Structure 1
Amino acid sequence: MTAPLTIPRRRLPIWPIAVLWTLALGLWGLSRQHSVWRDEAATWQVAQRSTADIWHMLGNVDVVHGLYYFLMHGFFACFGAGTTVLRLPSVLATAVAAACVAVLGHRLAGFWAGLGAGLAFGLLPAVQFYLQEGRSYALVAAGAGISTLLLVTMLKGHDRARRWAVYGATVLVCGLLNWLSLLILPAHAATLIWSRTPRRLCIRWVVTSSAALAGVLPLMVFSRGQSDQVSWIPPLTWHMMIGPAVLLAIGGLGAVADRPRAGRLSAAAVGLPLLAVPQIGLIGISLVQPLFLDRYILFSMVGLALLIGAGLGAAVQAATPRYPRASAWLVPVLVAVAVAALLPQSLAKRSPASRVDDVLAIAEDVQRLKRTGGSVLFVPAARRDTKLVSPGAFTGLRDIALATSPQKSGTLKGEEADPARIRAAMLSQRRILLVTDAPEVATPVSAQRDIMKLSVLKKYFTAVADEQVRGRRVTVYERIRPSSRLPQDP
């Protein structure tokens, strides 16, 4: 009666299916209509700097992303800069994570649990978003999958010193990519407690984890000096916890279906802590320092996928005695239904509108509207990323507010002159292009330089052209005539 289950369990490898499935999801619409948003623009422009310039910048800003920038610098050096090259590491990393989830599910709950988990991982909305993102979050998810798979392998009796070393190195690399990924350590600790791991293995885990933590600690301490970078993250509110609550509810159902028992290494014992601990841990951290962004704990989706797979495996097992042939189709059919249900969201995530803005699109308007000998301003200064990513579009334009380039200043956006010098430079121009945010995504201007820029433009210039596209805006200003309106005030 169980033949339909035993055949695939023995003959079909699971992880290649998960890899190919996830690669297909990742490569589908990878360029997002040749759009790049501001976070990815930071990766793009920093990765093209020299290693010395990157190192110089990390002393001032973005040290938490330092390892990722160096990795992308090497990737760009080998394959060139482009949207595909920018995002391909995330696609490959997500495929690795999916493979790990599939193998974990297979080992802990059977073939159908592994297949369901491997296919479900790439379909999760958060994973679909960040598997096509030129940032480090997918790489951390891959590391979480690898380290968890290694831990399960060692807890099942294959605890070689080499595997412990690889486990520690993987946790260390993940911590250097994003030190919040160290929340995986208390999750793994919960698994050890739940499964009643022998004391000998617990000691080895403590030693290995402590070594990895010690390696990340200097980064954690140094990055505290750059905490202003995350000052924009809003304080935790009750409605921000709705998403984690839903995820924990879904994961809890999968854990219950797996029939968890204390003292047994199961999908629930591995997946539930991996899902819950990072979610709850980040909420706790955010009560002290607002840091609650789902991308920081994307790796917790490894646990959610494993629990979904366990639930699917339990459903197949329950259906097999009565419907032995039909049960073999249960997972493929449910995956097909999920694909259809998530199709609108999947399409939306692969469109430029899925992100706040598009750095590349507005560069085309700058290219069309500029005049040689003209000038350009950016409000806020961070919108200079358009110029840094598409320098050719700004050829012939003077960046009149810039005092020191991003490379020389060791910053992402460069250092601008004092307000008085910028004001004087503006008043000597006949035509200025202003690159800023479109009104629907713009935040109130607060920096004194930016307030002054807008004030001068409003009082002494008039807008003659205005283009908005995908969250960015370029406005052309020309000097108001007659010249008698020019200021004499300081």
Structure 2
Amino acid sequence: MSFTPPSIPQRWSASHVAWASAILCLGLAVRLFRIDHQPFWLDEALTSQRIHLGFHGLIADSFTNRHMPTYFLLLQLASSLFGSGDAWLRIPSAMFGALSVGMVFIIARRIGGLGAGAVAGLLMALSPSQVQYGQEARSYTLVTLLITVALWGLLRLAQDPLRAAADLRGGGADRWGWAAYLLGTIAALDVLGAAAPWLIVSNLSLWLIWRSLRGSVDARDAFRRQWLASMVAIAVCTVPFYAAIVVTSDGHMLQKFDWIPPLSWQNLWVVTASVYLMRMSAVVKFDLLHTAVPLLGALVALAGGVGLLRMRGRLDGRVVLLSVVVLPLLILAISLFKSMLLPRYILWSAAPFFILAGLGAAALPRRTLPLAITLLFLLGVVNLGPVYRMETKPRWDMAAATLAANVRPGDTVFTADPNAPTMLTVLQPKNGLPIEASALVTSQLDQALARWHEGGRVWAVNGRSALGQREELTEFKSRIGALGAPAEQIPQGKEITILMFPASEESAAN
């Protein structure tokens, strides 16, 4: 393989800075808009609980549940400064997501010019999935940001292999490239395990860079030494934390993912469309929601294909391609044996895909490109509308408010979902009496039946808090048939129904 030098990156002019600032601000605005409109779902509720455990408790709980504590420590600090309301816990994700938009613009502009940067940045800013995760109190947008930083550094190395091979102690070395790659990689791995496939991407890319130096034995040896040193630094800074996760989770990692639905063509389409093709998915089920602009996904796919063709033969193009395909292909291969296919597990690969799409769109005639960018902005904004209108997360906030207002001493709240008690605790009204102060909240049916026989009312709640098999309402009613017919049936959004059963006739007679 011969190295084809890319075009020299354009200098930053005032217009380029203005474009970058405008797209970054757009990305932040669409993520902050109605950021507290959707209630917490289970993962966010667990985030809220974890940051209130204290420093040592937070770390222990994170490792036990196979999570790095880094992001939660950051949220704990933020909540101590600004408060722990739903919006405040989500704002860091919105900021990280907006910064990712800026990094995508910077990378695409560097390798394809201003037009490529503008299109790629707009796609990242207006992607429904990126906005959804930018409004969620979890670490996925932070990992995406850190990997884009590492990708920027890696692309710098690929664009000038001789500088990449120069001694870092000398004047001609690309210190910025190596530093961005190394620090971005370490930080991403220390935030979330979903960043681990980046190691495959980056090491394959570094191998390609090393291979392009075949004309100089000295440069190859120097590059190999720096490559090895980076691997050692990454291992030293990350392996101890992953070892702690393995030890505290008994080493049974894949067995912990039984809640993920099995691999199917339908699920594969949902993941692909939501991550790459500007579609929106429900959080607790594999389902694509209504899209306002169906054509947009096809246009993005076409632009991505053109971008791939434009980058063929270029070393930095191969790095971008690896960044797109390695993660989903790895997850897909694992899913043939143990299903791991979820939109959030391949989320960061959308960033390099949008970069390819930006490069493809930049192939349009120069006169038509401004019109195309304007059209993309308008279509993207319209396509994003359903994110703010549709129910994408179960309304446990409504259920908690209804129960808090109506339960009385001696009542029992029985939930079909074993995680529902956590949801009701976290989402119950802040200024009211806790549900647990008046009623017993349980997911054990025998416990609910025993209290019903003793003369207490039962509030049976059907609905799920996270991804997994949902018990249909008719099946739920059949399972709790011993309680008789409900006196009330109260829908709470699309996913949750509350059934109220009065005290048993036998207890009333006594």
CA spacing shift, 1:433–1:51, aligned 2, 3 Å: farther
* Match of residue 437 from structure 1: 463
- Conserved? CA contact 1:244–1:279, under 8 Å: no
* Match of residue 53 from structure 1: 57
Counterpart residue identity of residue 367, structure 1: A
* Match of residue 115 from structure 2: 112
For residues 75-111 of structure 1, the C-alpha deviation after alignment (integer angstroms, 9 at most, x for no partner) is 2222112222122111111111111111111221222
RMSD, matched Cα:
3.5
CA spacing shift, 1:138–1:429, aligned 2, 3 Å: farther
Partner secondary structure for residue 339 of structure 2: coil
Alignment of 1:68-467 (within 5 A): 68-155=71-158, 156=160, 157=163, 159=173, 164=178, 167-195=181-209, 196-198=211-213, 199=220, 200-213=222-235, 215-216=238-239, 217-218=242-243, 221-222=246-247, 223=249, 224-225=251-252, 227-242=254-269, 247=276, 250=302, 252-261=304-313, 264-266=314-316, 268-315=317-364, 319-320=365-366, 326-327=367-368, 330-331=369-370, 333-343=371-381, 345-351=383-389, 353-355=391-393, 357-391=394-428, 392=432, 394-395=434-435, 397-398=437-438, 400=440, 423-437=449-463, 443=469, 457-460=480-483, 462-467=485-490
1:379 deviation in Å? 2.3
- Conserved? CA contact 1:251–1:272, under 8 Å: no
1:68 deviation in Å? 2.6
- Conserved? CA contact 1:371–1:396, under 8 Å: no
Distance 2:389 2:224 in 1: 46
Q: Is 2:52 the counterpart of 1:17?
A: no
Partner secondary structure for residue 460 of structure 2: strand
1:346 deviation in Å? 1.4
For residues 362-421 of structure 1, the C-alpha deviation after alignment (integer angstroms, 9 at most, x for no partner) is 12211232224433233222001233213445346455366xxxxxxxxxxxxx78x766
Provide the TM-score with structure 2 as the length reference.
0.76
Partner secondary structure for residue 419 of structure 2: helix
CA spacing shift, 1:153–1:162, aligned 2, 3 Å: closer
Distance 2:389 2:504 in 1: 40
- Conserved? CA contact 2:28–2:94, under 8 Å: yes
CA spacing shift, 1:184–1:58, aligned 2, 3 Å: closer
Distance 2:308 2:233 in 1: 35
CA spacing shift, 1:83–1:245, aligned 2, 3 Å: closer
Distance 2:470 2:144 in 1: 35
Q: Is 2:499 the counterpart of 1:475?
A: yes
Counterpart residue identity of residue 46, structure 2: A
CA spacing shift, 1:129–1:250, aligned 2, 3 Å: farther
Distance 1:139 1:373 in 2: 45
Counterpart residue identity of residue 80, structure 2: A
Q: Is 2:31 the counterpart of 1:26?
A: yes
- Conserved? CA contact 1:367–1:394, under 8 Å: yes
Partner secondary structure for residue 186 of structure 2: helix
Query: Quick check: 334-343 or 155-164, which moved more?
Result: 155-164
CA spacing shift, 1:239–1:24, aligned 2, 3 Å: same
Partner secondary structure for residue 196 of structure 2: helix
Query: Quick check: 306-315 or 337-346, which moved more?
Result: 337-346
1:460 deviation in Å? 4.1
Counterpart residue identity of residue 223, structure 2: L
- Conserved? CA contact 1:23–1:92, under 8 Å: yes
- Conserved? CA contact 1:460–1:480, under 8 Å: yes
1:464 deviation in Å? 2.1
CA spacing shift, 1:420–1:377, aligned 2, 3 Å: closer
1:344 deviation in Å? 5.1
1:221 deviation in Å? 3.1
For residues 247-273 of structure 1, the C-alpha deviation after alignment (integer angstroms, 9 at most, x for no partner) is 595475143452422xx443x233221
Provide the TM-score with structure 1 as the length reference.
0.79
What is the number of equivalent residue pairs in this alignment? Answer: 444
Structure 1 unpaired stretches of 5+? 1-5, 321-325, 403-415
- Conserved? CA contact 2:304–2:354, under 8 Å: no
Distance 2:112 2:100 in 1: 18
Distance 1:372 1:401 in 2: 12
For residues 175-222 of structure 1, the C-alpha deviation after alignment (integer angstroms, 9 at most, x for no partner) is 233212121222223433555454333542343235424624425634
- Conserved? CA contact 1:106–1:113, under 8 Å: yes
